[in-house]
Amino acid sequence: MTHDLVAALQPLLTAEASAEAHASGTDPGDLEQAVWLRLLERLDSDGPPLDPQGWLRRTVRSEVRRTRRTVRLERPYETEPADDGDPDPERLALAAARRRALRDAVRRLPGRCPRLMEALLSPKDLTYREIAGELGISQGSLGPERSRCLGCLRRLLAPEVATRGLRG
């Protein structure tokens, strides 16, 4: 039954996702995957929708709204402060030393923390969903796990980072 439902909804979902995704700046494939996930969640809890086509259209629009909210709230992480000209050798050396110290501390973390922190620091800018899939843990446990790992990282780096002197 699920296979028949998926086969029946696939063309409509492709068309709806394509139409909505481009207007919202979302990848159509990502939108389709999100809707399929919602369908699986629904099948597990409530069973198949009574009006599958109507449900699919509403879900596509709901996922687009959720994506717009997420994009509006998220800001890209800037790894280095903006500078006003060509980077001088001293600044490049200091930035490289900071990155090395961070990577060394991350490798010394206990348990799953090194893999989690490497995923969070990845230049690919992975989402929580992608990180959870890569590490084989639930997406809901990433936040608490990240907090524990960051606490360990702070404790590791505290002796290596000079404390700020008093001002004034």
Q: Name the pLDDT band for 157 (thresholds 50, 70, 90).
A: confident
pLDDT of residue 84 exceeding 60, the answer is: no
Kindly state the percentage of the chain with pLDDT values over 90: 18
Neighbouring residues of 60: CB distance < 8 A, sequence distance ≥ 6: 13, 16, 17, 20, 31, 35
Q: What is the pLDDT of residue 61?
A: 92
Give residue limits of the domains in the chain.
Answer: 2-73, 92-157
pLDDT of residue 2: 74
Kindly report the average pLDDT of the chain as a whole number.
83
What are the φ/ψ torsions at residue 141 (nearest 5 degrees)? -90, -5
Mean pLDDT lowest among 40-54, 70-84, 130-144: 70-84
At residue 54, does pLDDT exceed 90? Answer: yes
Q: Which CATH number fits domain 92-157: 3.30.2310.20, 3.20.20.10, 1.10.10.10, 1.20.1260.120?
A: 1.10.10.10
